[in-house]
RNA sequence: CGGGACGUAGCGCAGUCUGGUAGCGCACUUGACUGGGGGUCAAGAGGUCGCAGGUUCAAAUCCUGUCGUCCCGACCA
């Protein structure tokens, strides 16, 4: 492609609305333009990158045995009502009425396609002999994001690959899942991105049924913990910690309290339990300010309703409660924060003054709690807190549990290592769905004994936009983007420095044409512009390999070849130029392929 | 949905407090010079100051409302 014939609106300055590197650079390099909050136009360069990523995904899906189909964005609301997801999605589901003759048709823009495909399967798969089968689609999906942000990373309209597996047994499902998991590893490896498969919260299905594929990035919305020693990695919602109950563990304090602010409980004097006035201080922050203490010296007492029954959950003041862990510990189906009335009934105080001492409900304490010495908690009385609240004396618990989000420095649940926390961009998710959709949409099959069962499903998504955005987010320098070869919009940039010099132009055109003929994606900067402008733009858009043809080099019979990431160019005789470029590309591709698992 | 910030030329911004002819840099057009890391000079074009209403002799500027965008939080198969 000739630069002068395509549309690459680069920008010297950073638009004020863009905050994170990927957003700024995608705008500056002319990849995207915003249309409104949460929706973007992909310009020619950005779209090429999307299509490259898409092609890799498609190839790997097919390699894993999945077959492609295409489903409509417009879907009848009825399908979502049957699966209960109209309510579950709430406002996220974009839906509207459309007049058709004298009636109104209620439809939704597909936020994903489980309903449509399950309905399809319900009609056409009726025997175990028709399975296993995995089908996939690469399409635009719509979700009314409450708050679109980070440029193209969180938008209301996005391109997604979704695959759905249909199996007749759990063993088949495991196999389908593993094939997809393997395909995902190959996909992310091929895109040239660093990636991390992590255990993810799988909701009501439980077990090891869900993995997210994360691209580690400082600005990622998700938090992940991982252990550098073993391969343990998990989404923060899911991550276990290797902490033990200090009440039952003979090694009290050991390994469980990495935060050397406190000594082991056994060696420290307990203060008297005392009640002090804290008017209007209902939050940890306010109490700390008033009493000049730190959040880690406090007990946060959260009152939950677990299947309708109140429970007090004790968490160290500076930590975050993990509702999934609490729910599983209680073996409850539903867990929600209690309402004001329940809190008053249980504590005898308004919201904000709950504490363990004298509370009238079950108490569930996190492992951190017994390690606190003389902590502060609510006093179960309006405008008052207790100091010197010590477990075993002032209140009792039979055991402690892992109830909070993991945090850097927590012990690894798998080995003797220590967890570290990284941020990541969720680019893919593999998920064992089970029979939720097949049951509600009546997708049943008969087995060899003529018994009817719901089809067992799995679903497997990849955000195509996010692959591209994550590449931009994680691969750039002060001059601009640095594309991995595999998803770069163009592989080679041919730069004639002076387009009205006949010799320069003739050689450059020859490079362009010969590279194209060899199947290389090449961008030809034929613009009448000063060399500085071409160099700056070239670096900004980040094409991996650049060849410069200019009067200075030609005088010595050379062209200059440089990887985007290289310090300076290599001078190569004109006649060997094209062959050298082809060889360099080949070597790079081979090296990249080394990293792709089988 | 709660909190905060901002809407002035394609982009980045000044002007708003203290009302009085709408500005600067980059980009754009034309010409000359220049020609290996975003050039120089000259001449130009481009703006309902987000929108609506109000106050005033007079509103980008003050008041009210509204729309939009961004950030933090809540939410997120």
Neighbour order of strands in the sheet with A95-100: A74-76, A103-109, A95-100
Q: What's the predicted TM-score (pTM) here? A: 0.91
Within this chain, do residues A356 and A452 fall inside the same structural domain, yes or no?
no
Question: Can you give the residue range of the structural domain that contains A56?
Answer: 3-239+422-472
Find the helix packing angle between A170-191 and A44-63, rounded to 10°: 140
Nucleotide minimizing C1' to CA distance for residue A111:
B77
Chain B nucleotides near the protein (CB, 7 A): 1-2, 11-13, 25-27, 34-39, 68-77
Residue A99 belongs to a domain with what CATH number? 3.30.930.10
- The confidence score (pLDDT) of residue A333 equals 79
Within this chain, do residues A553 and A456 fall inside the same structural domain, yes or no?
no
Q: Which residue's alpha carbon is at the shortest distance from the C1' of B77?
A: A112
- The confidence score (pLDDT) of residue A352 equals 85
- The confidence score (pLDDT) of residue A103 equals 94
Within this chain, do residues A351 and A453 fall inside the same structural domain, yes or no?
no
CB A480 within 8 A of CB A193: no
Q: Is residue A69 part of a domain?
A: yes
Q: Which residue's alpha carbon is at the shortest distance from the C1' of B75?
A: A146
Within this chain, do residues A318 and A373 fall inside the same structural domain, yes or no?
yes
Within this chain, do residues A336 and A306 fall inside the same structural domain, yes or no?
yes
Through-space separation of residue A40 CA and nucleotide B8 C1' in angstroms: 25
Residue A584 belongs to a domain with what CATH number? 3.40.50.800
Separation of alpha carbons A352 and A281, rounded Å: 7
Residue A365 belongs to a domain with what CATH number? 3.90.960.10
pLDDT digits 0-9 by tens, A273-331: 999 998 888 888 888 888 888 888 899 999 988 888 899 999 998 888 888 888 888 88
Through-space separation of residue A530 CA and nucleotide B50 C1' in angstroms: 38
Separation of alpha carbons A459 and A163, rounded Å: 6
Number of structural domains in chain A: 3
Instruction: Tell me the two tokens of residue A313.
Output: 């959950």
β-pairing, A522-524 vs A492-496, is parallel
Q: Is residue A19 part of a domain?
A: yes
Separation of alpha carbons A292 and A271, rounded Å: 17
Q: Is residue A248 part of a domain?
A: no
How buried is A399 (Cβ within 10 angstroms: 0-12 exposed, 13-18 middle, 19+ buried)?
exposed
The secondary element (H helix, E strand) that includes residue A338 is none
For every residue of A372-389, DSSP letters joined together read: -SS-BEE-SSTTEEEES-
- The confidence score (pLDDT) of residue A267 equals 61
Through-space separation of residue A10 CA and nucleotide B38 C1' in angstroms: 11
The number of CA neighbours under 13 Å toward the Cβ of A482 is 13
CB atoms within 10 A of CB A123: 11
CB A353 within 8 A of CB A309: no
- The confidence score (pLDDT) of residue A295 equals 86
- The confidence score (pLDDT) of residue A248 equals 60
β-pairing, A456-463 vs A157-167, is antiparallel
Q: Which residue ranges of chain A lie beneath pLDDT 50?
A: 204-207, 249-265
Within this chain, do residues A295 and A223 fall inside the same structural domain, yes or no?
no
Nucleotide minimizing C1' to CA distance for residue A154:
B76
Domain end, chosen from A442, A472, A502, is at A472
Within this chain, do residues A46 and A153 fall inside the same structural domain, yes or no?
yes
Q: How far is CA A228 from the centre of its chain?
A: 20
Through-space separation of residue A277 CA and nucleotide B54 C1' in angstroms: 51
Within this chain, do residues A540 and A448 fall inside the same structural domain, yes or no?
no
Closest listed residue to residue A462, CA positions, set A497, A438, A437, A426: A426
Within this chain, do residues A66 and A164 fall inside the same structural domain, yes or no?
yes
How buried is A172 (Cβ within 10 angstroms: 0-12 exposed, 13-18 middle, 19+ buried)?
middle
Nucleotide minimizing C1' to CA distance for residue A15:
B11
Nucleotide minimizing C1' to CA distance for residue A538:
B37
Instruction: Tell me the two tokens of residue A120.
Output: 């399809």
Separation of alpha carbons A544 and A318, rounded Å: 46
Q: Is residue A272 part of a domain?
A: yes
Q: Is residue A246 part of a domain?
A: no
Within this chain, do residues A49 and A147 fall inside the same structural domain, yes or no?
yes
Nucleotide minimizing C1' to CA distance for residue A540:
B38
Within this chain, do residues A204 and A80 fall inside the same structural domain, yes or no?
yes
Through-space separation of residue A146 CA and nucleotide B53 C1' in angstroms: 31
Nucleotide minimizing C1' to CA distance for residue A499:
B35
Separation of alpha carbons A508 and A183, rounded Å: 40
Through-space separation of residue A535 CA and nucleotide B42 C1' in angstroms: 28
Q: Is residue A289 part of a domain?
A: yes
Through-space separation of residue A149 CA and nucleotide B71 C1' in angstroms: 9
- Quote ipTM for the complex: 0.94
Q: Which residues pair with A142 in a beta bridge?
A: A157
CB A273 within 8 A of CB A390: yes
The secondary element (H helix, E strand) that includes residue A315 is strand A309-316
Instruction: Tell me the two tokens of residue A477.
Output: 């320098």
Through-space separation of residue A34 CA and nucleotide B44 C1' in angstroms: 31
Separation of alpha carbons A31 and A7, rounded Å: 10
For every residue of A213-231, DSSP letters joined together read: EEEE-TT-SEEEEE-SSS-
Within this chain, do residues A156 and A36 fall inside the same structural domain, yes or no?
yes
Through-space separation of residue A450 CA and nucleotide B8 C1' in angstroms: 74
Q: Is residue A300 part of a domain?
A: yes
Q: Is residue A247 part of a domain?
A: no
Please tell me chain A's helix, strand, coil percentages from 3-state DSSP, rounded to the nearest 5.
30, 30, 40
Peptide bond into A132 cis (omega under 30): yes
Nucleotide minimizing C1' to CA distance for residue A145:
B76
């Amino acid at each position: 492609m000739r630069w002068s014939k395509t549309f690459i609106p680069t920008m010297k300055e950073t638009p004020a609305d863009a905050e994170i590197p990927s957003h700024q650079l995608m705008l500056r390099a002319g990849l995207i333009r915003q249309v409104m909050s949460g929706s973007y136009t992909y310009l020619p360069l950005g779209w090429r990158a999307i299509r490259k990523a898409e092609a890799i995904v498609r190839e790997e899906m097919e390699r894993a045995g999945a077959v492609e189909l295409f489903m409509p964005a417009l879907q009848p609301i009825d399908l979502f009502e049957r699966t209960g997801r109209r309510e579950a999605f709430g406002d996220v589901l974009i839906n509207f009425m459309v007049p058709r003759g004298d009636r109104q048709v209620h439809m939704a823009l597909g936020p994903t396609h489980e309903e449509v495909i399950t309905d399809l399967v319900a009609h056409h798969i009726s025997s175990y002999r028709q399975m296993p089968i995995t089908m996939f689609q690469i399409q635009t999906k719509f979700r009314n994001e409450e708050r679109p942000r980070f440029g193209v990373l969180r938008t209301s309209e996005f391109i997604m690959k979704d695959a759905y597996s249909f199996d007749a047994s759990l063993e088949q499902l495991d196999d389908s899942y593993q094939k997809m998991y393997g395909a995902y590893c190959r996909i992310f490896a091929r895109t040239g991105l660093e990636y991390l498969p992590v255990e993810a919260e799988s909701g009501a299905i439980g077990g090891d049924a869900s993995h997210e594929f994360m691209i580690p990035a400082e600005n990622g919305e998700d938090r992940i913990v991982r252990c550098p020693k073993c391969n343990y990695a998990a989404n923060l919602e899911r991550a276990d910690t290797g902490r033990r109950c200090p009440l039952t563990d003979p090694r009290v304090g050991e390994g469980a309290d990495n935060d050397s602010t406190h000594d082991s409980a056994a060696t420290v004097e307990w203060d008297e339990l005392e009640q002090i006035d804290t008017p209007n201080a209902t939050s940890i922050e306010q109490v700390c300010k008033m009493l000049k203490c730190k959040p880690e010296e406090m007990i946060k007492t959260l009152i939950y309703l677990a299947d309708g029954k109140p429970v007090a959950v004790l968490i160290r003041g500076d930590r975050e409660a993990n509702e999934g862990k609490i729910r599983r510990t209680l073996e409850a189906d539903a867990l929600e924060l209690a309402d004001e009335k329940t809190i008053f009934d249980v504590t005898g105080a308004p919201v904000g003054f709950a504490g363990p001492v004298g509370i009238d409900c079950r108490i569930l304490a996190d492992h951190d709690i017994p390690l606190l010495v003389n902590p502060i908690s609510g006093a179960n009385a309006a405008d008052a807190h207790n100091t010197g609240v010590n477990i075993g004396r002032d209140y009792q618990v039979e055991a402690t549990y892992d109830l909070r989000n993991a945090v850097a420095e927590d012990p690894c649940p798998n080995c003797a290592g220590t967890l570290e926390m990284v941020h990541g961009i969720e680019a893919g998710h593999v998920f064992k769905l089970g029979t939720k959709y097949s049951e509600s949409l009546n997708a049943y099959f008969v087995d060899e004994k003529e018994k009817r069962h719901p089809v067992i499903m799995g679903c497997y998504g990849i955000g195509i936009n996010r692959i591209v955005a994550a590449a931009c987010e994680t691969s750039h320098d002060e001059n601009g983007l640095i594309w991995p070869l595999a998803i770069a919009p163009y592989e080679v940039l041919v730069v004639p420095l002076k387009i009205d010099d006949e010799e320069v132009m003739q050689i450059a055109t020859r490079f362009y044409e010969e590279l194209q003929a060899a199947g290389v994606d090449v961008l030809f900067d034929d613009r009448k512009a000063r060399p500085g402008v071409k160099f700056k733009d070239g670096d900004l858009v980040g094409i991996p390999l650049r060849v410069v043809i200019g009067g200075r080099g030609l005088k010595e019979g050379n062209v200059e070849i440089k990887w985007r990431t290289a310090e300076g160019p290599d001078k190569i005789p004109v006649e060997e130029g094209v062959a050298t470029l082809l060889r360099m590309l080949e070597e790079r591709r081979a090296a990249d392929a080394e990293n792709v698992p089988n």
